[in-house]
Amino acid sequence: MFDTEKLAELVQTYVIPWGINIFFAIVIFVVGRIVAKMLVKLFGSMLRRSKYDDMLVDFIQSIVGAVLLLFVIVASLDQLGVDTTSLVAILGAAGLAIGLSLQDSLKNFAAGVMLLVFRPFKAGDYVEAGGTAGVVKSISIFNSTFTSPDNKEIIVPNGKIYGDNIVNYSAKDTRRVDMVVGISYDSDLLKAKQILNELIAEDERILADPAPKVAVSELADSSVNFIVRPWVKTADFWDVKFAFTEKVKLRFDQEGIGIPFPQMDVHLYKEQE
């Protein structure tokens, strides 16, 4: 015969308390997920208003969302009476083991975050970094992609980039073109200087401010060297440099200004017997 008293006692002792715990655990999980999503969305909006990179914002949102969800799960399990202390210890040990095995990846990740936050360069800039040089194609969490001048794709770990010097040739609107022009010792120095100044004045791409500089810099072994330092817009740097070098050679040839090349005089002496 079915014992209703034992059934009532069973329900009172186990079913109702467990039912209440399960109900509140579900409530904690559902409400916690909703709150976590709201917090992640709010946090992402704050980061985007601060003009951080979208890739960095999305990644941080995913990390924050995962951490908050983990707290929600732990709180739900705690409501069910599960010993969460041991669970947290296991997760911590697992995280430490993973961190030790992925040291290089974590280094690249940290460097990627720093690059995206502080933005020493952006996509489209021509930079020298990580032992290479090229136009920045993309910046991701673990590595950055460059395109070399001869159109090769170069992928560089972010840790190597952030741990070394970064030269951004596109960061400023203007650049100085540093050139050295040598003439022979028997050429007319003042005439050569006048020609260099004329060539600078003829090129509309060369800026008047800052003023260009032409000066004798060195009395070398086989030449008198001028430094020629005009300022140009960054986009015109290479075009001006190449064109000016060609014009100097053509104009010096026309005006009889000699451009020496390295040479060595050998003197032979005959010993008298």
pLDDT digits (tens, 9 = 90+) for 36-91: 888 888 887 887 777 766 666 776 777 788 788 888 887 887 777 766 666 666 66
CA 159 – CA 115 distance, rounded (Å): 10
Give the fold, CATH level 3, of 120-168.
SH3 type barrels. (2.30.30)
Which letter, b or e, does each residue of 74-107 get, where b requires 16 or more Cβ atoms within 10 Å of its Cβ? bebbebeeeebeeeeeeeeeeeeeeeeeeeeeeb
The bridge status of strand 132-139 relative to strand 174-176 is: unpaired
Residue 1: what pLDDT? 47
Residue 198: what pLDDT? 96
Residue 98: what pLDDT? 55
Low pLDDT (below 70) residues in the chain? 1-17, 52-56, 59, 82-104, 262-267, 271-273
User: In 3-state terms, what secondary structure has residue 118?
Assistant: helix
Q: What are the structural domain ranges in the chain?
A: 13-101, 120-168, 174-255
Residue 37: what pLDDT? 86
Asked whether 223 and 182 are in contact (CB, 8 A), the reply is yes
**Closest C-alpha to 109, from 161, 180, 36, 182:** 161
First to last CA, the chain: 142
Residue 72: what pLDDT? 83
CA 195 – CA 174 distance, rounded (Å): 24
Domains 13-101 and 174-255 alike in fold:
no
- CATH second-level architecture of 13-101? Orthogonal Bundle (1.10)
Residue 221: what pLDDT? 86
CA 159 – CA 109 distance, rounded (Å): 8
CA 199 – CA 206 distance, rounded (Å): 10
The matching CATH number, chosen from 3.40.50.300, 3.30.70.100, 3.40.605.10, 2.30.30.240, for 174-255 is: 3.30.70.100
Residue 44: what pLDDT? 79
Radius of gyration of the chain (CA): 36
Half-sphere exposure of residue 183: CA atoms within 13 angstroms, side-chain side? 26
**Which ranges constitute the DSSP H helices of the chain?**
4-10, 16-49, 54-79, 84-101, 103-118, 158-162, 189-202, 237-255
**Closest C-alpha to 123, from 64, 77, 68, 55:** 55
pTM of the entire predicted model: 0.63
- In one-letter notation, the amino acid at residue 268 is L
Whose structure tokens read 């060539």? 199
Q: Which residues pair with 175 in a beta bridge?
A: 232
Residue 243: what pLDDT? 96
How distant, in Å, are the alpha carbons of 20, 39, 57, 117, 122 from that of 53? 45, 19, 6, 7, 10
Residue 29: what pLDDT? 82
